[in-house]
Amino acid sequence: MNLQLKSANAKIAAVSPWWKGAVIYQIYPRSFADSNGDGIGDLPGITQKLDYVASLGVDGVWLSPFFKSPMRDFGYDVSDYRDVDPIFGTLDDFDRLLARAHELGLKIIIDQVYSHTSDAHAWFEESRASRTNPKADWYIWADAKPDGSPPSNWQSVFGGPSWTWDARRSQYYMHNFLSTQPDLNVHNPQVQEALLATARFWLDRGVDGFRLDAINFSMHDPKLTDNPPDLEPGKRTRPFDFQLHVHNQSHADIPLFLQRIRALMDTYDAERFTVAEVGGSDSVREMKLFTADADKLNSAYSFDFLYAEKLTPDVVADSFTVWPGAPGEGWPSWAFSNHDAPRAVSRWTTPDHRDALSRMALLLLLALRGNVFLYQGEELGLPQAEVPFERLQDPEAIANWPQTLGRDGARTPMAWTDQGPFGGFSAIEPWLPVDPRHAELAVDRQERDPASTLNLTRRLVALRKATPALQTGAIHRLPAHDPILVFERGTGADKVLCVFNLSDAAQDWSLPGGWCVKEQIGSFDARQNRLGAYAGLIFEPAAG
């Protein structure tokens, strides 16, 4: 590490916690690396690849669920919060992963799913046994209406009513997702205590923080008031899309529970990190609510970019301008791709422009004010994989086929080599197929190419870490004609100018005086005032 980078990092560390402005790499364990040849990724496989992750220059790793689960929703239906599913390994394997990550200077963030469990969880099995057992009120139970219909009109995210009849209790139970994912009654103080004990279990093992899954679904209106219809025009592929979700989620007491989580985190010596996943049409308000002041979560991210079908200057600016850095305001996080959304390069451009878009998008993501989440394979420029219908695994993808790209195409195995039929992921046919296009972009092939997207990612992450203005500086949009996005990061002499052409055609744009190029993706002709297709540039103040 050179002296300039050391000095910049020391300056940032002196005023900011480790997580503020961090770059965190998301790993989907089923699809990262298979160490035992069963076609499914596992914790030892991740441990074997941590040197690769560290080589990217990222600050930490977010691990999607690896807990015990029937895998109806591939780990987001937890049957035991405090154990590892055997397909992923053991608790000892997790401890070894954590130790190796810390040796490499990587933080480990794990998912916590507090909205719901699996119907195979011991808590639910006890709760459904009777209306009088000790855990009878740990889930959301309600009687049928007089005509036998469900207690409310609420619809599940994955299709159909949010209510399933249970003959043992002669009642309905609520589920915002699959019928095998009953919602916890987080209004119940005993449930909150059990969830906090789960958090303490993992914190005591040494994890560095949590990503709180679907946290705005964790509390509902106890009166079970019907949701009103959503009358705004738009594409609808599920019954869920026909309602405004004002009663089945987003209850006003959620921030009170988050305060309890933050209070627990603050009892640990090293600073631990919390980030909320917040989906829905009211995500900005809830992100701010969940992160306001110093007694709630550190950060939150929404689906602004994950579900955006087109990348435009307004889409980007509308997301970051609502986080001006006002007193008491929280800190945003951003992701362009993850395991729940089709990969950005397949949503935002055509195949012939994929490489240019992926490289520009990396620079844009790393230039935003907030934390950055890089999804596995994003550093390789991977497109959405093509998964034939007969190989689909995701229940949402199957239910909505062919109206959506689905989630399976973003969850296919990592391609580590360009040799063999399975991209070096496994010795046997993996749980999802490896797209041949991914093998062409495999890690080993890109390692050999200094100009590859992989090596560009390393350079851009290093740039962000060496530039305080990019890591924690203010952000301010400047005027520019569509499809050009221009913003400044930082203040005074410690600032940079960020310019992006978000289209596949060259555009006219004039560089103001006093700036020189610090980083460039694509072409820019200052004499002709011409910005190339999918060009991105970072300028710094000219010397003198």
Query: Can you give the CATH number for the domain in which 277 is found?
Result: 3.20.20.80
Say yes or no: 331 and 206 in one domain.
yes
β pairing state of 67-68 and 80-84: antiparallel
β pairing state of 67-68 and 484-491: unpaired
Amino acid (1-letter code) at residue 309: E
CB–CB of 335/290 below 8 Å?
A: no
What's the whole-model pTM score?
Answer: 0.95
Annotated catalytic residue, options 183, 213, 286, 394:
213
Whether 386 is catalytic: no
SS3 3: helix
Say yes or no: 364 and 482 in one domain.
no
Element holding 515 (H helix, E strand): strand 515-521
User: Tell me, what's the pLDDT at 256?
Assistant: 98
Tell me the CA end-to-end span of the chain in Å, nearest whole number: 27
Cα angle 267-272-278, degrees, rounded to a multiple of 5: 115
SS3 12: helix
Say yes or no: 413 and 529 in one domain.
no
Say yes or no: 442 and 530 in one domain.
no
* The domain boundary residue, chosen from 437, 464, 491: 464
- What one-character-per-residue DSSP string does 285-337 give? HHHHHHH-TTSS-SEEE-STTTS-SS--HHHHHHHHTT----TT--EEEEES-
Judge whether 234 lies within some domain. no
Q: How far is CA 273 from CA 19, 81, 378, in A?
A: 7, 19, 23
User: Tell me, what's the pLDDT at 1?
Assistant: 40
Say yes or no: 431 and 288 in one domain.
yes
CB–CB of 371/22 below 8 Å?
A: yes
Whether 213 is catalytic: yes
Say yes or no: 323 and 441 in one domain.
yes
Q: How many CA atoms lie within 13 A of 177 on its CB side?
A: 24
- For residue 515, the domain's CATH number is 2.60.40.1180
Q: How far is CA 57 from CA 60, 141, 456, in A?
A: 9, 48, 12
Say yes or no: 380 and 428 in one domain.
yes
* The domain boundary residue, chosen from 440, 464, 488: 464
Say yes or no: 54 and 76 in one domain.
yes
Judge whether 142 lies within some domain. no
User: Tell me, what's the pLDDT at 237?
Assistant: 80
Residue 498 contacts by C-beta under 8 Å, 6 or more apart in sequence? 364, 367, 485, 486, 487, 488, 489, 536, 537, 538, 539
Q: Which two tokens stand for residue 305?
A: 């970019």
Judge whether 127 lies within some domain. no
Q: pLDDT 10s digit of each residue in the chain, 544 long?
A: 444 444 444 444 446 899 999 999 999 999 999 999 999 999 999 999 999 999 999 999 999 999 999 999 999 999 999 999 999 999 999 999 999 999 999 999 999 999 999 999 999 999 999 999 999 999 999 999 999 999 999 999 988 999 999 999 999 999 999 999 999 999 999 999 999 999 999 999 999 999 999 999 999 999 999 999 998 888 788 899 999 999 999 999 999 999 999 999 999 988 999 999 999 889 999 999 999 999 999 999 999 999 999 999 999 999 999 999 999 999 999 999 999 999 999 999 999 999 999 999 999 999 999 999 999 999 999 999 999 999 999 988 888 787 776 799 999 999 999 988 899 999 999 999 999 999 999 999 999 999 999 999 999 999 999 999 999 999 999 999 999 999 999 988 899 999 999 999 999 999 999 999 999 999 999 999 999 999 999 999 998 6
CB–CB of 101/209 below 8 Å?
A: no
Question: Cβ–Cβ contacts within 10 Å for residue 387, how many?
Answer: 22
Element holding 357 (H helix, E strand): helix 354-367
Residue 167 contacts by C-beta under 8 Å, 6 or more apart in sequence? none
Domains of the chain: total: 2
Say yes or no: 435 and 480 in one domain.
no
Annotated catalytic residue, options 277, 394, 408, 540:
277
The strand pairing partners of 335, in sequence order, are 373
Please tell me the distance from the alpha carbon of residue 231 to that of residue 242, in angstroms, as a whole number: 8
Residue 125 contacts by C-beta under 8 Å, 6 or more apart in sequence? 119
Say yes or no: 259 and 355 in one domain.
yes
- pLDDT, tens digit (0-9, with 9 covering 90-100), for 156-214: 998 899 999 999 999 999 999 999 999 999 999 999 999 999 999 999 999 999 999 99
User: Tell me, what's the pLDDT at 544?
Assistant: 64
Say yes or no: 478 and 459 in one domain.
no
Residue 466 contacts by C-beta under 8 Å, 6 or more apart in sequence? 4, 5, 8, 9
Please tell me the distance from the alpha carbon of residue 518 to that of residue 539, in angstroms, as a whole number: 5
Judge whether 519 lies within some domain. yes
Please tell me the distance from the alpha carbon of residue 438 to that of residue 414, in angstroms, as a whole number: 8
**Full residue range of the structural domain in which residue 489 is found:** 474-541
Judge whether 111 lies within some domain. yes
Judge whether 162 lies within some domain. no
Judge whether 321 lies within some domain. yes
Judge whether 134 lies within some domain. no
* The domain boundary residue, chosen from 464, 491, 520: 464
Say yes or no: 294 and 330 in one domain.
yes
- pLDDT, tens digit (0-9, with 9 covering 90-100), for 315-346: 999 999 999 999 999 999 999 999 999 999 99
